[in-house]
Chains A and B, each alone.
Chain A
């Protein structure tokens, strides 16, 4: 639709901002990207997301929407072509369940494996592997969580393929186990190579160095 203003406040290394970029690209929506200089949050960000003060925030015709999964639903309801969520209410509920599972279980476990050391780290990594194995049960034999094409859960979880691999290398843990979760492992490869999604992914080397930098700070603080 012409004349509409769509702005995304993001950060290049944020997996949550990546979700929104993917959704916008899949819907072929033109938008202006504003890179936030975290941790120096701009007055604009603080004005648009006073409650959580974080990226991503989608601003559509001056009206802000915050929280990545909520933004995805907003995008899907506003621009109805190339749907992200299924039509059927039961399948929609399932998609929301798994996206919620990723944020409530997978993200904290992976973060915990990244920020801790020794036994705590191993415990977190084990939990992360268990959660990812559980996530695999939702995928089954499908190419994508969305079926034949990328959908809500693929967009919500795809970033793990990059970030978890970085955590594995930096923190020296095993998270994505090709032997115990072969379907999920194959899906990670597939989703990150999918045409539209591939273009938005941050440069791997840059991301690895960025994450490595964080790790140094976090582990220096705890030792």
Chain B
């Protein structure tokens, strides 16, 4: 089978890009990664492929662009059937999509508020973040993965963001494990997967990224 033309406009530190890479790896799809310099100057290809948001990730499949990470993962799921990332029953699928939407709306921003704030505002941000984690832990329950016995869509969407948890923990001076041990166990379980371990960068490097972001934004 000829290698399909799959190109990813990427930034190594972006959890949104990590999601797409994990999905591609899970499906065994060969792809070309093209690093974008988000601060130095976005490529012409990025600006023409994603004129609405000018953001990564952008997946180009046979030259046709797809934007927004959760939508891209959905496209990957629907284009390459095996292994399935979503259950087959419509109700279970709707629940998975609900939690993908929840993670999209809540998790990264809640974490971001921790390193963006200080003092009382930061305490509130940490509390809010932990509440989101607790909600996710509740959804996970005693399952190995959000997908049940198998690693799936919700796992992919969520595990990518956990690469930033160390940064949140260091700036907020707390540990996720102390509040949501089952979720921490799930993180470790996911990191055992070859596909995830290949894609997720060293959280210490992400911590350095956040330090630099703060410097750039003029924050102490």
Contacts and interface: CB of A to CB of B under 8 A. Distances in A.
B94 interface: yes
B67 A97 contact: yes
Interface in B79-94: 79, 90-91, 93-94
A65 B68 contact: no
A149 B183 CA distance: 45
A28 B211 CA distance: 55
Interface stretch (A17-25, A70-78, A117-125, A159-167): A70-78
Contacts of B78: 89, 92
What's the dominant secondary structure at chain A's contact region? helix
Interface string A53-90: 00000001001011100110110011000000000011
Given A89-B79, A97-B68, A67 B101 contact: yes
Interface string A93-134: 100110011000000000000000000000000000000001
Given A67-B98, A70-B98, A134-B52, A93 B93 contact: no
Given A51-B135, A100-B68, A101-B52, A65 B75 contact: no
Contact of B91 (A51, A60, A96, A134): A60
B71 A73 contact: no
B75 A92 contact: yes
Contacts of A73: 93-94, 97
Contacts of A78: 90
B135 A93 contact: no
Nearest to B95: A65
Contact count band on A = 20 to 34
Interface of B: 52, 61, 64, 66-68, 71-72, 74-75, 78-79, 90-91, 93-95, 97-98, 101-102, 135
A48 to B, nearest CB: 12
B94 A90 contact: no
A206 to B, nearest CB: 31
Contacts of A93: 66, 71-72, 74-75
A90 B64 contact: yes
B66 A65 contact: no
Contacts of A65: 91, 94-95, 98
Q: Which 6 interchain pairs have the tightest Cβ spacing?
A: A89-B78, A77-B90, A74-B94, A93-B75, A65-B94, A78-B90
B214 to A, nearest CB: 26
A71 B97 CA distance: 10
Contacts of A66: 98
Contacts of B90: 74, 77-78
A78 B92 CA distance: 12
A93 B71 CA distance: 6
B49 to A, nearest CB: 12
A55 B154 CA distance: 23
A170 B67 CA distance: 36
Contacts of A100: 68, 71
A46 B90 CA distance: 23
A134 B67 CA distance: 15
Contacts of B91: 60, 63, 65, 74
A65 B102 CA distance: 13
Nearest to A98: B52
